[in-house]
Structure 1
Amino acid sequence: MARVWFRSTVLLVCLSLLTGCWDRRELEERTSILAIAIDMVEGRSDLYKLTVQIPIPIKIAGSSGKGGGGNADAVKIMSVTGRTILDANNNLQLRLNQKLFLGHTRVLAISEKVARKGIGDIMDSFRREPQIRRLMWPIVVEGEAATLLKFKPQLAQIPVVFLMDLIENGAKMGTIPDQTLGDYFNQTSNKTMQPYLNYVQASATEVRWKGVAVFRGHKMVGALNDIQTWSLLQLRNKERGGDVIIPLPNTDNGFVTFRPHFVKKKLELKGSHIAGQKNHGGHAATFVCELQGDIVEVTTNLHLPPEKFITQMQGLIKKEMEGRARKLFRQLQKDYNSDLLKLGLALRAHHYRDYWEKHDWEKDFKNFPSDVVYTIKIRRLGMEMQ
Structure 2
Amino acid sequence: MSDERPEHSTGGVYSVPGQEYTRDDRYLATRITADGRDGFPVEPGRYRLIAARACPWASRVIIVRRLLGLESALSMGLAGPTHDARSWTFDLDPGGRDPVLGIERLQEAFFARDPHYSRGITVPAIVDVRSGAVVTNDFAQMTLDLELEWTAHHRPGAPDLYPERLRDEIDQVNRRVYAKVNNGVYRCGFAGSQDAYDAAYRSLFDGLDWLEERLTGQRYLVGDTITEADVRLFTTLVRFDAVYHGHFKCNRTKLTEMPALWAYARDLFQTPGFGDTVDFAQIKEHYYVVHTDINPTGIVPAGPDLSGWLHPHGREQLGGRPFGDGTPPGPVPDGERVAAAGTPLG
TM-score by length of 1: 0.25
TM-score by length of 2: 0.27
**More helix per residue:** 2
Q: Between the two structures, name the one with larger relative contact order (CA 8 Å, sep ≥ 6).
A: 2
The structure that has the greater radius of gyration is 1
